[in-house]
Amino acid sequence: MYKLAIAGTGYVGLVAGATFAEVGHHVTCVDVDEDKVEMMRAGISPIYEEGLESLMQRNVELGRLSYSTDFKAAYQDADAIFIGVGTPERADGSADLTHIASVARQIAESIEKDCLVIVKSTVPVGTNDKVEQFIRDFLVNDVHFEVASNPEFLAQGSAVHDTMYADRFIIGTESEWARNLLTDIYTSFHRPIVNVSRRSAEMIKYASNDFLALKISYINDIANLCELVGADIQDVAEGMSYDARIGDKFLNAGIGYGGSCFPKDTKALMSLARENGYELRTVQSAVEVNEQQKTKLFKEANKRLITFNGLKVAVLGLTFKPGTDDLREAASLVNVPLLLEQGADIYAFDPSGAVRFSTMYPEGRFGIGAITYASNVEQALLDAHVCFIFTEWDEVKLTTPERYAELMRTPLVYDGRNIYSVLEMEKAGVEYHSVGRFS
């Protein structure tokens, strides 16, 4: 078992740290944020992720996991250091590598024994070469180090499971020493390991995320056409899914993808392509379809109702997907301002509490519109003229069609996640609009 250090305690770093400890390694998670480190030391996970907090607590008790702001102490005698800090999007769509650079510099100034540095953050192809050069430029002690690429494929809401039972671990290295060490670190997970070059590993991450974004935009494009020709996208997707070459995942039509990954990684890959004199037209189309998809139901409802002024509008779900409190690139962030602009009286419900949303839009008036936070689905629906579903939380799914009919003033529902059967909504007397289905 190895002594590992992890730089950054966001989704990537913290989940990696806790799961490495779980399979027996000795891990120190490093973060510059003292409050965050104190919080983790008190046994609290700074992110909402099923199973993470108990995994953290168990491994701290077993003495295999610790948290620190002291990067020097953590890095100096580590066998391997994983970099899991953020790579946010710059205004031009490229990835901002400032955090990676500052960690690389700390590593260069701290390591006192031979060590493998592994980049887990999503970085443009070629970044690992730069990180290696950067560390070499600032290296203080005479030690051997190498840089490896090991992209992360976990999804928010199922991060621990996605790591413990990963479909594969991608290991991108340039030497046998690095390949053997990193393979050894991952052996205890007993999952498939794919060994490739560093640049291929970096590309696999973007190519995978962008392919999934393409898949979603493709099914949304077909869904929009289904509406026009009288076909049902769920039947179409099911029929397609039996072809093993297509598969049954990521074929749910709706109001598009959000989150911190697909929107950022599609733009980053297009930006990389442009820098190299190439246009990634497939990815460009996926991004365009997604932008349109986000406001599709708002536009339909706007046509049907003419104006939202003075209407009570129930909004169910604010986060970009269920099981997380993350709002990044969520459809709600585009639709709520549009509704407020037209004077809607919004009653929003999200089981995560969506604290950040209520900070951006505190309860009260916004121009001619207003927003109130409901503590459950029924409170949001009561006396509403229209309802929008943006996230398929269980609390929403468990609400029966009859409850919409009973509670709403006019049972008119725009479902961006295709939760309900069109027939059952009709039977309950609800005017129901969803995506890619006949209604």
DSSP E strands, 133-231: 145-149, 169-172, 193-196
Q: What is the 3-state secondary structure (H, E, C) of 269-329?
A: HHHHHHHCCCCCHHHHHHHHHHHHHHCHHHHHHHHHHCCCCCCEEEEECCCCCCCCCCCCC
Q: Give the one residue of 198, 294, 312, 321 binding ligand UGA; rule: CB under 6 A.
A: 321
* Candidates 2-10, 153-161, 223-231, 272-280; binding stretch for ligand UGA (CB under 6 A): 153-161
CB closer to ligand UGA, 50 vs 137:
50
Q: Does 82 bind ligand UGA (CB under 6 A)?
A: no
- Residue 436 found at the interface with ligand UGA (CB under 6 A): no
Burial of 296: CB neighbours in 10 Å, binned 0-12, 13-18, 19+: buried
Residues 6+ apart with CB under 8 A from 349: 314, 315, 316, 317, 373, 374, 375, 376, 377, 379, 380, 395
**Closer residue to ligand UGA (CB): 31 or 329:** 329
For residues 5 and 212, which CB has a smaller minimum distance to ligand UGA in the complex?
212
Stretch that binds ligand UGA, among 19-27, 43-51, 151-159, 166-174 (CB under 6 A): 151-159
| DSSP H or E segment with residue 433 | strand 431-433
Contact call for residue 379 and ligand UGA (CB under 6 A): no
Is 2 one of the binding residues for ligand UGA (CB under 6 A)? no
For ligand UGA, the closer of residues 122 and 399 by Cβ is 122
Taking the complex as a whole, the smallest distance from the CB of residue 237 to ligand UGA amounts, in Å, to: 9
Kindly state whether residue 163 participates in binding ligand UGA, applying the rule CB under 6 A. no
Determine, following the binding rule CB under 6 A, whether residue 152 of this chain makes contact with ligand UGA. Answer: yes
| Inter-residue contact 435 to 422 (CB < 8 Å) | no
216 near ligand UGA, rule: CB under 6 A = yes
Residue 356 belongs to what H/E stretch?
Answer: helix 355-360
| 121 touches ligand UGA (CB under 6 A) | no
> CB of 94: closest distance to ligand UGA in angstroms?
16
Query: Order of strands, edge to edge, in the sheet holding 65-68?
Result: 65-68, 26-30, 3-7, 80-83, 115-119, 145-149, 169-172, 193-196
Tokens of residue 60, six digits: 């701290």
SS3 364: strand
Based on the residue annotation, tell me whether 261 is a catalytic residue of this protein.
yes
Binding of ligand UGA at residue 209 (CB under 6 A)? yes
Site residues for ligand UGA, 233-262, by CB under 6 A, read 250-252, 254, 257-259, 261-262
100 and 133 in contact (C-beta within 8 Å)? no
Selecting among 29, 115, 226, 261, the annotated active-site residue is 261
154 interacts with ligand UGA by CB under 6 A: yes
Report the candidate in 434, 203, 439, 130 with the shortest Cα–Cα distance to residue 296.
434
Q: Which residue type is seen at 406?
A: E
Asked if 325 interacts with ligand UGA (CB under 6 A), we say no
Token pair, residue 30, equals 């490093």
Nearer to ligand UGA, 24 or 192 (CB): 192
**Rule CB under 6 A: which residues touch ligand UGA?**
122, 152-156, 209, 212, 216, 250-252, 254, 257-259, 261-262, 320-321
User: Catalytic residue numbers?
Assistant: 261
